[in-house]
Amino acid sequence: MPSEKFLEGIYYVQGRDFVDAGVVSSDIKRALKEKGIPESVIRRVAVITFEAEVNIISYADQGTIQLFVEPGAVTVEAVDIGQGIPDIELALQEGYSTADDSIREMGFGAGMGLANIRKYSDVFTLTSEPGNGTHLTSVVKLDGK
Amino acid sequence: MRLREIRDKLDARVIVGEDRLDLDVSTAFGADLMSDVLAFARSGCLLITGLSNPQAVRTAYALDIKAILVCRGKSISDKFIEIARELNIPVLWTRLIMFEVCGRLYQEGLIGCIRQASEIEDKQIA
Ligand SMILES: Nc1ncnc2c1ncn2[C@@H]1O[C@H](COP(=O)(O)OP(=O)(O)O)[C@@H](O)[C@H]1O
Ligand SMILES: [Mg+2]
């Protein structure tokens, strides 16, 4: 049987809106709880969303986070309009960061975000057009590791 | 260790969760960096942190962390309290520094939720 991917929600993220960082992650967590998704999967998705959300707030002008649920997996797609990432390999390295103090004060900006997202994803893709924006897709499988 | 005992050992103040002091925790994670908490902390632990902004509460919620202990006497905003109430996460507050907090709690039998960073490579946030 072909599996269908249902759009569960679209969440808007405003660049530089530090006060609300983490709100989307909390909302997505609540939505997944209502759907009866296993708690360990929800935690991974919540972490992935949190880091993706903080990155849009920190480095982009604006973006959306879309949540898809299908029988065997949860998919997070974070798309933003902004400066983009010139060197993806470099950005993925633990410890690499261009964060300023406003980001550090929030408890982020140590260069762990993208590495964390990749670590908790079963499928991870990151593409970017410098000057235009960034597109991150993360799939967490229900029977994943 | 119950939150009540933790409060007493640390001369802590209960900021949120006065009615949940019987809550039992057996593990803890201490950090000011929320990315490290998101990368390494396990569910069900006590979060010990000097970061007293709303992101600490939202991080705790993401990981199903049982309670937050704010150390070094960091001031806690109304927003922090409001979100902790909304997400139902107890918050304690102490003037003690993180080292002192960890030392006292370890002596009482609390242990780290992981011992070293590599333990979590299996992707599970247990
Ligand atoms: N959405 C994005 N748009 C532009 N640049 C980004 C984006 N996400 C990440 N980056 C770049 O990649 C670097 C590493 O990101 P990350 O691993 O999340 O660490 P941190 O956010 O702590 O710096 C950032 O410092 C930034 O330069
Ligand atoms: Mg980041």
pLDDT level of residue A145 (50, 70, 90 thresholds): low
Q: Give pLDDT, residue B122.
A: 63
Closest CA to A43 of B73, B113, B101: B113
Test B121 with A120 for CB contact under 8 angstroms. no
Per-residue pLDDT of chain B (126 residues; tens, 9 = 90+): 999 999 999 999 999 999 999 999 999 999 999 999 999 999 999 999 999 999 999 999 999 999 999 999 999 999 999 999 999 999 999 999 999 999 999 999 999 999 998 765 667 776
Q: Report residue B65 as tokens.
A: 């962390």
Q: Is the pLDDT of residue A82 over 70?
A: yes
Domain boundaries, chain A: 6-141
Test B64 with A43 for CB contact under 8 angstroms. yes
CATH 3.30.565.10 for domain A6-141, yes or no, is yes
Superfamily the domain B3-125 falls into? HprK N-terminal domain-like (3.40.1390.20)
pLDDT level of residue A144 (50, 70, 90 thresholds): confident
Nearest atom (ligand 1) to Cα of A112: 17
Neighbouring residues of A36: CB distance < 8 A, sequence distance ≥ 6:
none
Nearest CA in chain A to B40: A116
pLDDT, tens digit, 9 for 90 and up, residues A4-52: 779 999 999 999 999 999 999 999 999 999 999 999 999 999 999 999 9
Q: Is the pLDDT of residue A59 over 70?
A: yes
Torsion (CA) A131, A45, B43, A72 in degrees, nearest 10: -160
| More confident: A144 or A82 | A82
Neighbouring residues of B94: CB distance < 8 A, sequence distance ≥ 6:
B10, B11, B12, B13, B69, B70, B71, B73, B101
Edge-first strand order for the sheet with B27-30 is: B13-16, B91-93, B67-70, B46-49, B27-30, B111-112
Q: Which ligand has the shortest distance to the CA of A134?
A: 1
| More confident: A127 or A105 | A127
Predicted TM-score (pTM) above 0.90: yes
Using a CB–CB cutoff of 8 Å, tell me whether B41 touches chain A. Answer: no
B23: closest CA of chain A, how far (Å)? 20
Q: Which residues of A touch B63 (CB under 8 A)?
A: 43, 46-47
Nearest atom (ligand 1) to Cα of A92: 17
Q: Is the pLDDT of residue A55 over 90?
A: yes
This model of the complex carries an ipTM of: 0.94
Test B64 with A113 for CB contact under 8 angstroms. no
Q: Is the pLDDT of residue A65 over 70?
A: yes
